[in-house]
């Protein structure tokens, strides 16, 4: 089950990269001086990507734990 651990670790890293990308995207939007409505539109578009990245990271960690238990 070593492959499950490595696959889970890769998914977790990919999810973490997605979370960091979402943070940077919103941080840049806030620093650009957008008005409140435009900033809300940017954040509204980022939320589904943020949730997807979080889910990917959680699934990866679950795979790592499962691989440890089965290995």
| Residue-averaged pLDDT of the chain | 96
Q: Domain ranges in the chain?
A: 2-70
Q: What is the average per-residue pLDDT within 14-27? A: 97
Stated length of the chain: 71
43: Cβ contacts below 8 Å, ≥ 6 apart: 26, 29
Dihedral sign for Cα 11, 13, 16, 18, please. negative
pLDDT tens for 21-42 read 999 999 999 999 899 999 999 9
**Residues 15, 18, 20, 23: is their CA dihedral positive or negative?**
negative
pLDDT, position 71: 85
Residue 70 has pLDDT above 90, yes or no: yes
């Amino acid at each position: 089950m070593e492959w499950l651990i490595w696959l889970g670790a890769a998914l977790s890293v990919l999810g973490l990269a997605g979370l960091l990308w979402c943070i940077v995207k919103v941080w840049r939007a806030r620093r650009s001086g957008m008005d409140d409505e435009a900033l809300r539109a940017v954040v509204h578009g980022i939320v589904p990507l943020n949730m997807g990245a979080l889910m990917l990271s959680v699934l990866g960690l679950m795979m790592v734990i499962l691989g440890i238990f089965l290995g």
